[in-house]
Amino acid sequence: MLIVTLIGIIAAIPLGISRWGMEQSANSVEFVYDYKDLVQIASYQAHPQEFIQEHLGKMKEAGIETMAVFESSLEELSWAGRISVYNSTSLNGINGKLAPVNENFTYVIFAGSREESVLRPLIESAFEKWGIVVRPFSEGDYSGLVLETPYEDAKLKLMSPDPMALQAIQDAGLAILPRLSDRVPYDENAVSELISSYKALGVKRILFDGDAVKGFADNEEKKSLYTFADILNENGIGIAAIENSKPQKGIGTLGYLLDYNVTRIYSLSDVDATGMKADEIADRFQLAVKDRNIRMFYLNGAPMSDITKSSITNSLNNIYESLQGKDGAIAKIEKWGFTTGTAEAFDARTDMTSWQKALKGLVALGAVALIALLIAAFVPGVNIPVFVIGLIGSAGLYVLSPSVLEQGLALGAAISAPTLALIWAINRVKAHTVGNRRAVGGDIETAANVGERWIFPGFAAGRRLKMAIALFAATSIISLAGVPFVFGLLNSIKYSLVLDQFRGVGLLHLAPIGLTALYVFLYTGDSVLGNLRKLLMMPITVLWVVGGVVLGAAGMYYLSRTGNEGQVTGVEMIIRNLLETTIGVRPRFKEFMLSHPLFLFGLFLALRYRAAWVLFIVAAIGQLSLVDTFAHIHTPLAISLIRVSLGLVLGALFGLVLIAVWQAGEGVWRRWVAPRLEQVRRQFKNGE
């Protein structure tokens, strides 16, 4: 089994190198602003059109190169001053007439002849597709349209983007990022015409609006995802996937059909754009680029009512400041070797070549062997049968779902490696200690009468320190053996783009801890059954109940910190920011400040004190975290390697500090406290 596991590790290395190259293939970062938000902000200004033109220029100067443009609506066209919209009641009220009986229509009046010539065909075409009667209308010197549907319904109908807005954006030297929805019935000819017009405008990428990609709703009937992908491929246009949100329906399939011409985009909300300081926004952007492979940023804004200033404000100047200057986002990302410009997709041409498929098969074989080794550690002698059963089950699962198979084997290997590492460490400590032991305060002959309170003599502090460091290093190396199985099995770019996610990470955060605890309590004594019997026969006291509550609370806190939504304290945020600004890459807090130091400290103590073996359970947090760091597939391998290395080095240093403090305290105890307590005990015994 060990040989097969080693073969799997070796086979994964070329796959990791391939992924490393993919992560270096796209270094251009693009900043995008929501044009609709700019229009809305401008609608609260004295001269909206002049405001829009002014800030399109300012955005270009600040480094924003693209404007996101939605499918237009009557409401947005009204904000832009292109049209005025009324219902039957409000229009007749303006004219001093009574509202017509049994009529609830929408009246559109164009702002001028240019607006009418450009927008009339757009509105007529859109509403006629919905089966709504559209007819001409005039009011004084102005002309317009009557839409025979209530305004509440009319404002929900989507049309092609405002052509006048697209022209203004182009005139300002900015690119266009269209946002398409799936709320309009799919029409292949209309979509083909629309995408062709986007190509003529220089569009390189499309972002979807809503919870589904264009064509998803009609795909079962019309195979619209496939025809839409063909249209995009013919025009050389890719798509963008939104970071930190539920994947839009159909985006995984569409990404595959586009040969993964996909770029991940991070959205800065209007609340954060207003509430965060400029340097905080810049730091967030820098972190997203280098740590999460983000190549596009979507900037939102909104008009805000500021009572203290008695005015309507916005976040535009704050955004400009966050991008520019020596401490701005652009300068920060350029220091890491990135440039600003049109975002490009990562090179996925080597995603699944024939040689990669062959190597991936060997990695899967090694993962099954590693899982079999873990099971055999708890049930000796079953490794071969378990391995055979695992191969048969994997073959069947591959037929049903290759994705589920690779994720399941990656999860199994990620759990197995750190658990086996800790079992090995426990057994090494046990081999060095058990058999030459004496009871606390007693001798070898009385050892059997004092239960589990053991002290192991024979090793000086210096020797224990060297052994602890060696065991710490070896255990970490064994745990890291699970990493190649993670990046080898999940080497497809769909995981890096988060079009498919590695599921079961929550189990990875718990299983090694639970399995290590099980081994410590049941497998380190005379027999498993004997240890189990002792545990079951132990009386439940108030202390046990309190301890259980404390452990439960600690477990809940631990789980609350895992994943992207994990909660952190203010002190930890200060330490994180300090590390980020000084080192450039932040090691994981729970590794270098908690688990790694306690593991090294625990190894040092465990070579003398039996009770210290319980610290192996805490050590499991750091060891599993070594593998879990690489389970964040969207994080570049280089960053994960640096993060893990820093965590181990800093954790070991803090562990040495703990050992030094312990040795100092133990010296004080032996030299001053223990003799004094012994003197008091004798005086009490003699009745003095």
What are the pLDDT digits (tens) for 532-570? Answer: 776 667 677 765 566 566 666 666 655 555 654 455 555
3-state secondary structure of 524: coil
What one-letter code names the amino acid at 271? V
Between the alpha carbon of residue 569 and those of residues 554, 576, 579, the distances in Å are: 15, 10, 15
Q: Does residue 24 sit within a domain?
A: no
Spatial CA neighbour of 370 closest among 418, 406, 402, 404: 418
Q: Quick one: pLDDT at residue 555?
A: 60
Taking the C-alpha atoms of residue 325 and residue 321, their distance in angstroms, rounded to an integer, is: 7
Q: Report the DSSP pairing between strands 311-313 and 304-306.
A: antiparallel
DSSP string, 102-128: T---EEEEESSHHHHHHHHHHHHHHHH
Cβ neighbours for 429, distance < 8 A, ≥ 6 positions apart: 471, 603, 606, 607, 613
CA angle 208, 209, 212 (to 5 degrees): 75
Q: Quick one: pLDDT at residue 554?
A: 61
Domain end position, chosen among 108, 136, 159: 159
Q: Quick one: pLDDT at residue 185?
A: 83
Q: Quick one: pLDDT at residue 394?
A: 93
pLDDT means per 10 residues in the chain (688 residues)? Answer: 94 94 93 95 92 95 95 90 89 70 89 92 91 88 91 91 93 95 89 94 94 93 94 96 89 94 95 94 94 95 84 93 93 94 85 81 96 94 93 93 94 97 94 60 39 69 94 97 96 90 86 93 78 70 63 60 54 65 78 92 92 90 95 92 94 95 88 76 68
The answer to whether 495 and 633 have CB atoms below 8 angstroms apart is yes
Q: Does residue 204 sit within a domain?
A: no
Taking the C-alpha atoms of residue 600 and residue 472, their distance in angstroms, rounded to an integer, is: 6
Taking the C-alpha atoms of residue 455 and residue 437, their distance in angstroms, rounded to an integer, is: 6
Backbone angles phi, psi at 565, to 5 degrees: -100, 10
Q: Does residue 337 sit within a domain?
A: no
The answer to whether 588 and 509 have CB atoms below 8 angstroms apart is no
Q: Does residue 188 sit within a domain?
A: no
| DSSP classification of residue 445 | G
Q: Which tokens hold the place of 674?
A: 């223990």
The answer to whether 238 and 345 have CB atoms below 8 angstroms apart is yes
Q: Which residue is associated with the tokens 């909206």?
A: 48
Name the residue range of residue 86's domain: 76-159
Domain end position, chosen among 134, 159, 184: 159
Q: What is the number of structural domains in the chain?
A: 2
Q: Quick one: pLDDT at residue 437?
A: 46
Strands (E), 371-462: 438-439, 454-455
| DSSP classification of residue 44 | T
Taking the C-alpha atoms of residue 602 and residue 467, their distance in angstroms, rounded to an integer, is: 12
Q: Quick one: pLDDT at residue 310?
A: 79
| DSSP classification of residue 78 | H
pLDDT digits (tens, 9 = 90+) for 82-129: 999 998 888 876 666 666 778 899 999 999 999 999 999 999 999 998
Q: Does residue 186 sit within a domain?
A: no
Domain end position, chosen among 103, 131, 159: 159
Q: Does residue 253 sit within a domain?
A: no
DSSP string, 526-595: S-HHHHHHHHHHSPP-HHHHHHHHHHHHHHHHHHHTSSTT----HHHHHHHHHHHHHTSSPPPHHIIIII
Q: Does residue 23 sit within a domain?
A: no
Q: Quick one: pLDDT at residue 680?
A: 72
Q: Does residue 194 sit within a domain?
A: no
- Packing angle of the helix pair 570-582, 278-292 (nearest 10 deg): 70
